[in-house]
């Protein structure tokens, strides 16, 4: 009996203790800590995303080429909108039409009743202040940044920022209404540029009005700005190259051979990157996208062009490596190369020529002999015994027929077919004459101006290159070591000297294809012209570097439908090199000649069908 009474007594004490703890806790909540009362009265906590400023981009000399400026997005939470609010007043403040506003509100409601959606993006601070005074339930302004471009250059290279789509929402970072890099540097370095979002937790009453910060802000987190990128571009040189490419279709790519850093990537046509910022962005994008000359297309990286006569140097190097060619070998050229009914024509020059002279004069016949020797007589020769495949392996080692692994997301791999392609095409009945056009960079070859500039850098370095890249430093991040590793062509270093000599002669000796339009006193320019065949009109191509020893710049210029390489590409290339190496231009008449050049593009402008 005594034990039973003791158990009951302890049970009563335990229940009383629990009751006392609950009373004390309720007293603390209701009387001592007012935050619970405040939260109860307010009914809701709103998590407001704090967007970070997007990272900025500098040129190699520390000049801003992309900056961020203040802007605000008008957001809506549909379930908090009060019916019958003054829609017309709101439309007037944010400068949109009533149908547009209704469409945006309907779209937001379809996305989510509880989550905020963008109604009108990129408003000014003045508009934001007017909206704050209006205090419309369900609407809020969110701080953002938009891009600005002090130099208004390199639109194709820098890229643009656009609103995320359904495909982007798989990344937990993004929500509807966010922005993401869509092309160029903005896309390639998105994860560095976007920064880290913060959050602010607000107490909101039943009318959607913010009453204050929850917990005095102790649970808020600040956004972290995107990282600053230092590019390898020379902004002044880029602007000059774009000026020279005005009215033309094509590209200029210049590299620093010792590092692979891109000094210039100028497209023709290009566009002012500010056109894809702000309220008129969609209209401007539609106009640019419908332009038949494709100003949004980065030809420097993505275009598929035949290399033309610039490719002769690759065949010369392979011939030297395979032992079927010596620099002193001489071949006749009487208007071209003829075997039976097949003729590969050539322009007038003295004959016979050796390797250096063949490069200087750009002799077609010489390199037809060289290619046939490679395919038919080399150690791996006999085109049906692997000779072609061995040649193709050499070509790919120069960066052709594959992506260079640069920091561009849309890099064209190029085109160097394997022997199986010709087996299918010709039912295994083909020989070195079938592919003779490869001797002069025609036929089935395809490459980008970036790959040709990389060839110029490889020759300038006497056999190796560094992966071309446009960003040289990311704030607080170590760059990918792949950009510091040399890549070697399958040709011994000593074989490059006669090729370099021929390129030097082309720019300095009478009869050289570069000299007339590309000679610059005091500069040891080495160059090679190309005239790439095309159905409309031949393309003008130039590939070169300077100085001859310890080169500081390697360049490719590709101008569509401009005729001979010497007529358009050479003056542009030589002017860019002159500007970079001397910081001045001593040939103003040449600048005027390039700017006044008239090239018709009926196939782009709708005149040809």
Q: What CATH number corresponds to the domain at position 65? A: 3.90.1310.10
Answer yes or no: do 587 and 570 share one domain. Answer: yes
**60 falls within a domain:** yes
Sign of the alpha-carbon torsion through 557, 559, 564, 567? negative
Answer yes or no: do 273 and 148 share one domain. Answer: no
Cα–Cα distances in angstroms (integers) from residue 452 to residues 32, 101, 542, in the given order: 76, 50, 9
Answer yes or no: do 266 and 130 share one domain. Answer: no
**3 falls within a domain:** no
Of 174, 207, 230, the last residue of a domain is 230
| Start-end of H helices in 337-482 | 355-361, 364-377, 387-397, 419-426, 449-460
Q: What CATH number corresponds to the domain at position 303? A: 3.40.710.10
- Domain containing 448 equals 235-595
For the chain, the distance separating the N- and C-terminal CA atoms, rounded to the nearest angstrom, is 112
User: What is the Rg, in whole angstroms, of the alpha carbon atoms belonging to the chain?
Assistant: 33
In this structure, the number of other CB atoms found within 10 A of the CB of residue 588 comes to: 8
Residue 46, pLDDT score: 74
Answer yes or no: do 148 and 288 share one domain. Answer: no
**14 falls within a domain:** no
- Strands 553-559 vs 139-148: parallel, antiparallel or unpaired: unpaired
Answer yes or no: do 166 and 311 share one domain. Answer: no
Of 230, 257, 276, the last residue of a domain is 230
Of 208, 230, 252, the last residue of a domain is 230
Number of domains in the chain: 2
Instruction: Single out the residue of 407, 412, 470 nearest to residue 66, CA to CA.
Output: 470
The pTM for the full model equals 0.88
Answer yes or no: do 224 and 268 share one domain. Answer: no
The per-residue b/e assignment along 205-223, b for 16 or more CB within 10 angstroms, e otherwise, is: eeebeebeebeeeeebeeb
Cα–Cα distances in angstroms (integers) from residue 45 to residues 32, 41, 51, 212, 252, in the given order: 21, 11, 19, 10, 55
Answer yes or no: do 537 and 427 share one domain. Answer: yes
**608 falls within a domain:** no
**6 falls within a domain:** no
| Mutual angle of helices 496-508 and 312-322, in 10-degree steps | 150
Answer yes or no: do 480 and 573 share one domain. Answer: yes
For the record, the structure tokens of 582 come out as 């001397």
Residue 220, pLDDT score: 86
For the record, the structure tokens of 221 come out as 């987190």
Residue 41, pLDDT score: 44
Answer yes or no: do 300 and 225 share one domain. Answer: no
**216 falls within a domain:** yes
Answer yes or no: do 523 and 467 share one domain. Answer: yes
| Start-end of H helices in 382-530 | 387-397, 419-426, 449-460, 496-508, 515-518
Answer yes or no: do 203 and 258 share one domain. Answer: no
Residue 427, pLDDT score: 86
**219 falls within a domain:** yes
Residue 183, pLDDT score: 92
**61 falls within a domain:** yes
DSSP bridge pairs for 44: 204
Distance of alpha carbon 122 from alpha carbon 144, whole angstroms: 7
Residue 343, pLDDT score: 94
Answer yes or no: do 248 and 320 share one domain. Answer: yes
- Residue segments in the chain with a per-residue pLDDT below the cut of 50: 38-42, 608-609
């Amino acid at each position: 009996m005594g034990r039973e009474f003791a158990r009951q007594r302890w049970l009563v004490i335990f229940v009383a203790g629990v009751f006392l703890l609950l009373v004390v806790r309720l007293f603390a909540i209701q009387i001592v800590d007012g935050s619970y009362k405040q939260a109860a009265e307010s009914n809701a906590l709103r998590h407001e995303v704090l967007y970070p400023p997007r990272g900025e981009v500098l040129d190699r000399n520390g000049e801003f080429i992309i900056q961020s400026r203040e802007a605000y997005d008008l957001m809506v939470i549909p379930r908090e909108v009060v019916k019958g609010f003054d829609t017309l007043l709101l439309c007037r403040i944010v400068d949109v039409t009533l149908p547009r506003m209704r469409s945006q509100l309907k779209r937001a409601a379809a996305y989510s009743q509880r989550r905020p959606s963008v109604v009108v993006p990129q408003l000014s601070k003045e508009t934001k202040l007017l909206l704050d005074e209006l205090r419309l339930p369900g609407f809020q302004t969110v701080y953002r940044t938009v891009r600005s471009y002090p130099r208004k250059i390199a639109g194709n290279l820098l890229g643009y920022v656009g609103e995320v789509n359904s495909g982007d929402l798989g990344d937990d970072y993004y929500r509807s209404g966010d922005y993401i890099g869509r092309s160029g540097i903005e896309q390639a370095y998105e994860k560095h540029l976007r920064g880290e979002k913060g959050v602010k937790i607000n107490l909101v009453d039943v009318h959607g009005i913010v009453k204050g910060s929850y917990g005095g802000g102790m649970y808020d987190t600040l956004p972290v700005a995107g990282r600053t990128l230092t590019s390898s571009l020379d902004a002044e040189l880029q602007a000059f190259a774009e000026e020279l490419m005005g009215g033309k279709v094509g590209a200029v790519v210049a590299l620093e051979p010792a590092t692979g850093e891109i000094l210039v990537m100028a497209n023709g046509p290009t566009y002012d990157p500010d056109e894809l910022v702000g309220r008129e962005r969609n209209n401007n994008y539609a106009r640019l996208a419908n332009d038949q000359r494709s100003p949004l297309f980065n030809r420097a990286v993505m275009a598929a062009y035949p290399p033309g006569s610039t490719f002769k140097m690759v065949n010369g190097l392979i011939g030297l490596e395979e032992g079927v060619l010596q620099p002193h070998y001489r071949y006749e050229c009487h208007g071209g190369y003829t075997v039976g009914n097949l003729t590969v024509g050539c322009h007038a020059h003295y004959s016979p020529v050796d390797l250096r002279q063949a490069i200087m004069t750009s002799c077609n016949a010489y390199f037809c002999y060289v290619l046939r020797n490679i395919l038919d007589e080399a150690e791996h020769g006999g085109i049906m015994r692997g000779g072609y495949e061995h040649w193709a392996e050499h070509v790919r080692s120069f960066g052709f027929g594959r992506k260079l692994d640069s920091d561009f997301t849309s890099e064209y791999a190029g085109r160097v077919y394997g022997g199986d392609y010709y087996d299918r095409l010709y039912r295994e009945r083909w020989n070195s004459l079938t592919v003779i056009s490869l001797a002069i960079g025609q036929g089935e070859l395809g490459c980008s101006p970036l790959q040709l500039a990389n060839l110029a850098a490889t020759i300038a370095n006497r056999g190796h290159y560094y992966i071309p890249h446009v960003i040289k430093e990311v704030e607080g991040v170590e760059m990918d070591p792949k950009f510091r590793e040399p890549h070697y062509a399958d040709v011994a270093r000593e074989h490059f000297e006669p090729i370099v000599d021929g390129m030097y002669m082309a720019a300095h000796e009478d009869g050289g294809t570069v000299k007339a339009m590309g000679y610059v006193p005091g500069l040891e320019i080495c160059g090679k012209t190309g005239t790439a065949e095309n159905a409309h009109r031949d393309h003008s191509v130039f590939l070169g570097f300077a100085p001859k020893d310890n080169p500081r710049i390697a360049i490719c210029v590709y101008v569509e439908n401009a005729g001979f390489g010497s007529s358009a590409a050479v003056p542009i290339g030589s002017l860019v090199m002159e500007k970079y190496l001397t910081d001045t231009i001593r040939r103003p008449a040449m600048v005027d000649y390039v700017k006044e050049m008239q090239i018709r593009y009926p196939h782009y402008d709708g005149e040809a069908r």
